[in-house]
Structure 1
Amino acid sequence: MNELIQRLIAAHRILNREIRREVARRFPDQLRLARLKKERLAIKDRLFRHFPDAAEMRRVARVALRSARHA
């Protein structure tokens, strides 16, 4: 798999984690949350340029996640 795709998937996962952490705070920072979501969407758009078919993108992401866990 392409290294760029793996980096994008990893960045997307990190942003998801940060968004969940921010939402879980007692008083979430709405500006930070908006910035994180905007970044996550930009990464998702870049991934879709490589994989216009959503099902194919999810399959590739699952493979990347599995390989990252076993590495």
Structure 2
Amino acid sequence: MTNVIQRLITAHRVLNREIRAELTRRLPDTARLAQLKKQRLAVKDRLFRLIPDAAEMRRVARTA
């Protein structure tokens, strides 16, 4: 697995954690949520450009 793919998987996981943390707040910041989700989608798009097969992407993400 390349360093680029590893960094993207890590970034996606970090963004997921930040989104979950924001959603658990009493008054979630909707603008921040929108920004985080947009960033997460951009990371996911880059990952799928590098590994277009969804099943292979899941396998790689699990082993990372």
TM-score over 0.5 (shorter chain): yes
The alignment of Structure 1 onto Structure 2 pairs a total of residues equal to 64
* Structure 1 moving runs of 4+ over 2 Å: none
Q: TM-score, normalised by structure 2?
A: 0.98
Identity %: 73
Query: Superposition RMSD on alpha carbons, in Å?
Result: 0.4
Q: Which aligned pairs between 1:49-68 and structure 2 lie closer than 5 A?
A: 49-64=49-64
Residues 8-52 of structure 1: per-residue CA shift (max 9 Å, x gap):
000000000000000000000000000000000000000000111
Please, which runs of 5 or more residues in structure 2 have no aligned partner? none
Q: Distance in 1 between matches of 2:12 and 2:29?
A: 20
